[in-house]
Each structure stands twice: as structure tokens, then as C-alpha cells.
Structure 1
Amino acid sequence: MELSELNELDLNNIGEWPVPVKAIAIVLLCSVAGAAIYYLDTAAQLERLDTAQAKELELRKTFETKQKKAASLNAFRQQLAEMKESFGAMLRQLPDKTEVAALLVDVSQTGLAAGLEFELFQPEGEKLKDFYAELPINIKVTGRYHEFGSFISGLAALPRIVTIHNVKIASPAGERGGEDAKLQLQAQVKTYRYLDETATK
């Protein structure tokens, strides 16, 4: 088939075209139709498919995270119950208003039992915090080094929370050093009181 014959092809009589030309025309028409279908319909569907797949991955991750939380729920509940119990036990270690005076006596007695001589035992005013009040006591005691250790151990053994801060140990004026020499301990002892809801409002 020559190129001059292509010019003589009649579009109104396609049935008379030579077989190779018909084959090429059919391939071209199918390609154009396929491209049109792809761009008009399939491309949008593929885009929706990609979006759906991305959403599926996101949902899988969310599901796995929630599944892990659900699997650990009983452990979390048990841990929360333990924390509540522990918090309650700590709150019981904070005296109420009526027990503060007895606790001050306990602190003083602990020092005397350790063999210390009190030069200063001065409770300050309560300092209110979030849910508790802090009662600082300035102390100055004289004694030997191991007696200070007994005193601090005794404070730690009290059934209520008592902490010691700003500890300064020095030799009293005029005292000579030595193994059995007396020392002076200056510190601030703090005890705490739980504030009930009415006190915090």
C-alpha cells in the first residue's frame, strides 16, 4: 500500500479500507478510548483507592494503639488502685490539726532520747501548700556526732512524715575538737498536715 492510496480513503466507506489501515485505525481508536476512560474515570478511582489505603493504614495504627491500651486496661486499673492505696497511706502519715501538738512533743522527745541538749526549739507559723500545710521548726541542739545520727534516725522512724533541712554542724565557740567533742547542730525540721477540702477552699 502506498501513501497516495491513504489520501483516497473515504471516511464514509470505512468498510472498503484495506485491512492494515483498518487495523491501525482500530488500534488508534482503542488507544484514544482507553486514554479517555482512564483520565475520566479510572484516574479518579485510583486516587480514591490511594486515599482509602492511606486511611486504612492510619486506622490500623489507631486500632493497634487502642488494642494495646485495652489489653493493658486491667494492669492500669490495678496500678491506679495501688497508687490510690499508697496515696491514702501517705495521707495517713500527715497528722490532722489535733495531732500536730503531739508530733511536736515526739520530735522534742526524740532529740532528748538521743542525748541532745536543746538550745532552741522554735515552731514557725504554718505555710499552706496545695493540699497540705507545712510546719517548720527551727532547732539548735548540742551533742556528739553519733547522737545527731540517732536523732535523725529517730525522726525517720516516727509514724508521721518529718523531714530535716538546712543542716549546719559546727563546734561551739571555745570547744576543742576531738573524738568525743560536743558539736552544735542547727537545722529546720518540717512536719506536714493534710488540709481537708474545706480548709483548702
Structure 2
Amino acid sequence: MDLSEIRDLDYSNIGSASTGVKVLLLGLLALVILIGGYFYIVKDKRETLAERERTESELKQEFSTKQEKAANLEAYKAQLAEMEEMLEVMLRQLPSRTEMPELLVDISQTALGAGIDNELFEPRAEIKRDFYAEQPINVRMVGTYHEFGNFVSSVASLSRVVILTMRDISLQPVEGTGRLRLEGVVTTYRYLDDTEGGAVTAGGGQ
């Protein structure tokens, strides 16, 4: 067989070709079939296998993570219980329901003792939260920066832990006096006792 046989081959009458040409054509046909089989069958299977291997790896990682969390679950529970106990202790340092009326008087008297004029000191309705209660107070006070500083310092020195937060507060100079008028809402807090559903439980609720 030489190249002229292939070049002059009559493809409409391949049966008349020599044995060598027929063998060559059959070999080429087999090669085409093998390549086609790879792309349409083998390659697809390899991609499927690779995808399943990735899925298996992800599942193993997920299992390992969950197993680690399960192993640490008791430690997490113990840590949560310890945090709840600490929170309970901190809350118990706040005033109780029976102490709140006296505390409001103490705050008002502390302001007067610091030299502040209480033009308005009006407790509003109490707001109960999960395990504590807010006591908003409408205030209008007149004093100097120094007197307000003494007031805050004196409140911090009261026998009970007193937390004061201020909302919608304005501070304006009082013309011709060198003093300031503070007006807005001051909020203090107390803990809810067990009869009010104030026990701290898992999740921070009641």
C-alpha cells in the first residue's frame, strides 16, 4: 500500500480497495469510535465520579464538624450555666421592687444635695422586660457642669448599684445665670424577683 492508493481511493466503492487500505480505514474508524466513546461515556463517568468524591469529602467534613460540636456540647452547657449564674448575681445587685421607691427618693435628694434644682422629677409607668424592669423618669434639672458631675458621682456611691441611662436629653444654657437646664427622660433599672417571673434561664428568657 502506498499513499497514491489512499489519494486515488474511490470512496463510493471502498470494497474494491486493497487489503492494506481497508485495514487502515478500519483502524481509523476504530480510533474515531474510541475517541467518541471517551467523550460521550468515559469522560461523563469521570466527571460524575469526581462530583461524588467532592460530595463525599464535604459530607466527611460536615460529619467531623458535627462530631466535634457534639463532643463539646457538655462543655458549652456548663459554660452557659456559669454565664447565667453570673448574670443572676449581677441582676441581684440592682434594686428590688420594694427598694425602688426609696431609691427614687435617694436620686432626687442626691441631685438637691449636689446643688441642682429639680424643676421636674416625675417617675413614669414601669416597663418590664424579660428579667429586669425599666423605670423611666421625666426630669428637668438646672445646675452647673460641676454640680451635674457631683450628682453622677454621688449616685454611683449609693448603697445599691444604680444604672442611669438618658434618652431624648437636651442641655441648654439658662440665660443670665451661667447654669444649664437638663431636660428629658432618665431611666434606672431594677431586677424582677421570682414572683414576677424574673429568674434567668437558658436562652436569657424567663
TM, length-normalised to structure 1: 0.61
Alpha-carbon offset, residue 151 of structure 1? 0.5
Q: How many residues align?
A: 182
Give the letter aligned to residue 171 of structure 1.
Answer: V
Q: 1:6 and 1:184 mapped to 2: Cα distance?
A: 111
Alpha-carbon offset, residue 197 of structure 1? 7.1
Structure 1 unpaired stretches of 5+: 10-16
Alpha-carbon offset, residue 136 of structure 1? 2.0
Find 2:186's aligned residue among 165, 186, 189: 189
193 and 27 in structure 1: CA distance in 2 versus 1, 3 angstrom threshold: same
- Rg larger in 1 or in 2? 1
- Aligned equivalent of 2:49: 49
RMSD: 4.3
Query: Is the contact made by 2:116 and 2:143 (CA closer than 8 Å) also made in structure 1?
Result: yes
Query: Is the contact made by 1:110 and 1:151 (CA closer than 8 Å) also made in structure 2?
Result: yes
32 and 103 in structure 1: CA distance in 2 versus 1, 3 angstrom threshold: same
Give the letter aligned to residue 115 of structure 1.
Answer: G
Q: Does 1:155 pair with 2:158?
A: no
Q: 1:40 and 1:169 mapped to 2: Cα distance?
A: 83
Write out the 4+ residue segments of structure 1 that deviate beyond 6 Å after TM superposition. Answer: none
TM, length-normalised to structure 2: 0.60
**SS of corresponding position for 2:98:** helix
Alpha-carbon offset, residue 104 of structure 1? 1.4
- Aligned equivalent of 1:132: 132
118 and 36 in structure 1: CA distance in 2 versus 1, 3 angstrom threshold: closer
8 and 183 in structure 1: CA distance in 2 versus 1, 3 angstrom threshold: closer
Give the letter aligned to residue 161 of structure 1.
Answer: I
Give the letter aligned to residue 189 of structure 2.
Answer: Y
Structure 2 unpaired stretches of 5+: 198-205
44 and 102 in structure 1: CA distance in 2 versus 1, 3 angstrom threshold: same
- Aligned equivalent of 1:91: 91
- How high is the sequence identity, in percent, across the aligned residues? 41
Give the letter aligned to residue 188 of structure 1.
Answer: V
Q: 2:172 and 2:127 mapped to 1: Cα distance?
A: 26
